[in-house]
Amino acid sequence: MDKTVIALFNRREDAEQAANELRNQNFPIENISIAVKESDNNEKQEELVDDDITDGITAGGVLGGIAGLLIGAGTFAIPGLGLLTAAGPLAGLLSGAVTGGIVGGLIDLGIPETKTSLYEEGLKEGKILMTTKVKAENINQVMNILKKYGGNEIESY
């Protein structure tokens, strides 16, 4: 049975390295979701994704090298959070139910409602949120990769 692993990253470079390592370890990139809050002064922190699936070479952005690998990118106005740029399965969930905001999207990914406020607060603070679906037997490997690259608040559900 697949489980969702979730983490927060303080730095773009750390999230990028973790995602690249997951890719290098043959975890499906289409299972990875990334979300980042745009800065409060209405300037984009940088573009999160390119809508095309590429080999990972893009013109920089919040997630640099993996930006072009993520599917379903978009920017969403989330009540209480502001503008959120997301890619991957989470972006699809947000586009279908913006009224539920990030909490609804995380619940749809399998995160318990009692834990969603922790990750929502992390986004408000400017952290980068990453989730990925993995087989139960790979949870420890994925969690170790996320931790190695600076992920914190790492949990699996």
d(CA 84, CA 64): 17
**The domain containing residue 34 runs over which residues?**
2-156
- pLDDT above 90 as % of the chain: 40
- Name the residue with higher pLDDT: 65 or 52: 65
Nearest to 5 by CA among 22, 20, 17: 22
Q: What stretches of the chain show up as alpha helix (H) in DSSP? A: 12-24, 89-96, 101-108, 113-124, 139-148
Question: Each residue of 96-120: pLDDT tens digit?
Answer: 655 567 888 888 888 999 999 999 9
Phi/psi for 125 (5° steps) reads -80, -5
User: What pLDDT is attached to residue 68?
Assistant: 52
**Band of pLDDT at residue 65, cut at 50, 70 and 90:** very low
Q: What 3-state class would DSSP assign to 136? A: helix
Averaged pLDDT score across all residues of the chain = 77
Question: Each residue of 9-43: pLDDT tens digit?
Answer: 999 889 989 988 998 999 988 889 888 887 654 44
User: What pLDDT is attached to residue 125?
Assistant: 93
d(CA 34, CA 32): 7
pTM (two decimals): 0.78
The DSSP letter of residue 49 is -
With tokens 């809508």, the residue in question is 51
- pLDDT above 70 as % of the chain: 73
User: What pLDDT is attached to residue 102?
Assistant: 80
**Structural domain count, the chain:** 1
User: What pLDDT is attached to residue 40?
Assistant: 56
